[in-house]
């Protein structure tokens, strides 16, 4: 094939860009360094379990995903819209803080939030739902922590709920992530469910890849140089096309293009265990409200999506923020904390695998989202997309791919 457009990277952004261009009969060739599509959304099969490379969830409310993906085919399995907060030696349930903030805190004669926090969650929710998503990305930008404090949330609500919950989403325990992301997350959780596709998160990029004509994707193909009208591969081979789209993570985009793109990223470590029995019966996220120990959050994917396991065992997914800890020591510390939470049963849990992901999300400390949509035109004939152009989410990556395709189409026609 003699492509009109070469796309570097088969993550969500590159795939969405290719899809949009192919719909307009523009021939694309997607060059992907890895052995499969999906980028940061991959799923491994290990001993009958499906292990996503880092715990993540798909929110059904993402508008871009709604317009592109076939949700039925993904066979989405929802988590309950709440959390179990571990605090003071017990678990405290928060039911649906997003859609029913009053119900959420009624159940808590709890140390997690005050009566006034109920009102604040309700107010926050209705404000996040006003106007369009784009409007909320234009609200004044500060850090998420500052915004929560300015909204008057009690320290207990922030420390015991928001810090582990948002910390687990932004992979940022300091909550220095832009308040515009906080608006976005509040809105998305209020409007939809957090789900896992029954075949694993990788089913999302695979569905997108399947919509492209055969031969559109070349795997195992690393690009080392991008120039006008051509790219050079690690093998030395040169491929040419009038238009190049660079759809790699921010860190690599900074290397391939230039350092006007921030290479800063948030890291995370995900540990998986096989357990004879599920430690919790409901598909809920468990949050560390104590702030002590390595675990930020955990869940049991097989309770939400039984197809994540072999049937006779449960899968436990544990998230510790950051990377760089000694893996054996981290595993020991996680086991100790799991033992405190779930007792001696944890001794029978088998460690399956640990994923350490130094660049899971682009860092979004203000003024990162000062311009919520950064330019996708790099220089003549070269375009750039990826979550670092919009926001660090499945929605952001998909939108950036579509925006890059629209820019290409506008310039070609």
Ligand X SMILES: Cc1cc2nc3c(=O)[nH]c(=O)nc-3n(C[C@H](O)[C@H](O)[C@H](O)COP(=O)(O)OP(=O)(O)OC[C@H]3O[C@@H](n4cnc5c(N)ncnc54)[C@H](O)[C@@H]3O)c2cc1C
In the complex, the residues that contact ligand X under the rule CB under 6 A are: 8-14, 31-34, 39-41, 54, 56-57, 222-223, 247-249, 252, 268, 357, 360-361, 386-387, 392-394, 397
Residue number with CB closer to ligand X (39 or 289): 39
**Rounded Cα–Cα distance for residues 189 and 125 (Å):** 9
Residue number with CB closer to ligand X (34 or 122): 34
**Least separation, in Å, of the C-beta of 252 and ligand X?**
4
**Rounded Cα–Cα distance for residues 68 and 127 (Å):** 27
Residue number with CB closer to ligand X (99 or 218): 218
**HSE of 406 in the Cβ direction (CA atoms, 13 Å)?**
8
**Least separation, in Å, of the C-beta of 382 and ligand X?**
14
**HSE of 356 in the Cβ direction (CA atoms, 13 Å)?**
9
Residue number with CB closer to ligand X (220 or 367): 220
**What 3-state class would DSSP assign to 199?**
coil
**Least separation, in Å, of the C-beta of 213 and ligand X?**
19
**What 3-state class would DSSP assign to 316?**
strand
Is the CB of residue 161 less than 8 Å from the CB of residue 86?
no
**Least separation, in Å, of the C-beta of 57 and ligand X?**
4
Residue number with CB closer to ligand X (10 or 338): 10
Cβ burial of 25 (10 Å; 0-12, 13-18, 19+) is exposed
**Least separation, in Å, of the C-beta of 246 and ligand X?**
9
Is the CB of residue 50 less than 8 Å from the CB of residue 199?
yes
**Rounded Cα–Cα distance for residues 128 and 124 (Å):** 6
61 — phi, psi (to 5°)?
-85, -5
**Rounded Cα–Cα distance for residues 258 and 260 (Å):** 6
Residue number with CB closer to ligand X (14 or 197): 14
**Least separation, in Å, of the C-beta of 318 and ligand X?**
12
Is the CB of residue 180 less than 8 Å from the CB of residue 137?
yes
**Least separation, in Å, of the C-beta of 283 and ligand X?**
15
Is the CB of residue 242 less than 8 Å from the CB of residue 6?
no
238 — phi, psi (to 5°)?
-115, 135
**Least separation, in Å, of the C-beta of 24 and ligand X?**
20
Residue number with CB closer to ligand X (169 or 303): 169
Pairing of strands 265-275, 350-362: antiparallel
**Rounded Cα–Cα distance for residues 338 and 271 (Å):** 12
Residue number with CB closer to ligand X (108 or 233): 233
Element (H, E) at 360: strand 350-362
Residue number with CB closer to ligand X (89 or 215): 215
| For the chain, the helix, strand and coil percentages under 3-state DSSP, each to the nearest 5 | 35, 25, 40
**Least separation, in Å, of the C-beta of 240 and ligand X?**
16
**Least separation, in Å, of the C-beta of 223 and ligand X?**
4
**Least separation, in Å, of the C-beta of 91 and ligand X?**
22
Residue number with CB closer to ligand X (188 or 274): 188
**Rounded Cα–Cα distance for residues 135 and 341 (Å):** 42
Q: How many CB atoms lie within 10 A of CB 33?
A: 18
Cα-Cα end-to-end distance for the chain: 21
Residue number with CB closer to ligand X (143 or 297): 297
């Amino acid at each position: 094939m003699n492509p009109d457009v070469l796309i570097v990277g088969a993550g969500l952004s590159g795939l969405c860009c290719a899809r949009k261009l192919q719909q307009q009969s523009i021939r694309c060739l997607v060059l992907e360094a890895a052995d499969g599509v999906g980028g940061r959304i991959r799923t491994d099969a290990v001993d009958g379990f499906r292990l996503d490379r880092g715990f993540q969830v798909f929110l059904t409310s993402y508008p871009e995903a709604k317009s592109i993906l076939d949700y039925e085919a993904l066979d989405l399995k929802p988590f309950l819209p709440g959390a179990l907060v571990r605090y003071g030696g017990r678990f405290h349930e928060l039911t649906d803080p997003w859609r029913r903030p009053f119900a959420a805190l009624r159940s808590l004669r709890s140390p997690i939030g005050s009566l006034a926090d109920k009102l604040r969650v309700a107010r926050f929710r209705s404000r996040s739902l006003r106007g369009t998503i784009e409007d909320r990305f234009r609200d004044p930008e500060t850090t998420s922590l500052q915004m929560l404090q300015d909204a008057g949330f009690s320290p207990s609500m922030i420390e015991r709920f928001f810090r582990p919950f948002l910390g687990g989403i932004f992979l940022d325990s300091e909550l220095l992530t832009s308040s515009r992301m906080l608006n976005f997350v509040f809105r998305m959780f209020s409007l939809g469910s957090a789900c896992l596709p029954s075949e694993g998160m990788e089913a999302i990029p695979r569905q997108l890849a399947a919509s492209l004509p055969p031969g559109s994707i070349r795997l195992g193909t690393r690009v080392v140089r991008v120039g006008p009208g051509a790219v050079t591969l690690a093998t030395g081979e040169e491929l040419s096309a009038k238009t190049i789209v660079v759809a790699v993570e921010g860190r690599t985009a900074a290397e391939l293009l230039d350092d006007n793109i921030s290479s800063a990223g948030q890291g995370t470590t995900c540990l998986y265990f096989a357990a004879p029995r599920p430690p919790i019966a409901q598909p809920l996220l468990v949050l560390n409200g104590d702030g002590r120990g390595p675990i930020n959050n955990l869940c049991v994917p097989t309770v939400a999506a039984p197809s994540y396991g072999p049937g006779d065992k449960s899968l436990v997914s544990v998230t510790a923020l950051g990377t760089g800890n000694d893996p054996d020591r981290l595993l020991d510390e996680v086991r100790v904390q799991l033992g405190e939470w779930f007792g001696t049963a944890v001794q029978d849990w088998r460690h399956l695998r640990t994923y350490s992901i130094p660049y899971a999300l682009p860092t979004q400390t203000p003024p990162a989202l000062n311009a919520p949509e950064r330019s996708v035109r790099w220089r003549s004939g070269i375009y750039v997309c990826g979550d670092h152009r919009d926001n660090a989410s499945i929605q952001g990556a998909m939108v950036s791919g579509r925006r890059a395709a629209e820019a290409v189409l506008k310039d070609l026609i």
